[in-house]
Amino acid sequence: MLLADANEKLKRLYRLVENGLTDLDEVLQDRLNSLKADRDWAKAVLERAKEQPGTQIEIDPALIGRFGNAMRENFTTGSIPSKKAYLQSLIDVI
């Protein structure tokens, strides 16, 4: 997300300069340099993450079934606050 954001911001600034809507002054140059540094940092982090060997996680299908049953039970019979808490905990993890 950081990489895409930095690239999009750089493109918008370049378009402003290309279209003559702004001049490349010292402040804009500093901003461009900052965005380039952010982009380069995000690229480096992404490359390091790609190089790390991933560990394969195996999840027992029975465990998934039990979890699904428990969540279904909580959503159908639980109180409104508990339903909200379960949803929020799932959203936070995702």
Joined together, the tokens standing for residue 71 give: 């969540």
Number of neighbouring beta carbons within 10 Å of residue 93:
6
Distance CA 14, CA 3 (A): 17
What does the DSSP assignment read for 5-37?
Answer: HHHHHHHHHHHHHHTTSS---HHHHHHHHHHHH
Q: What is the pLDDT along the chain (94 residues), one digit of tens a residue?
A: 577 888 888 888 888 888 888 777 888 888 888 888 988 998 898 888 888 777 777 888 999 899 888 888 878 887 888 888 878 887 877 6
Residue 75: CB atoms within 10 Å: 12
Model-level pTM greater than 0.85? no
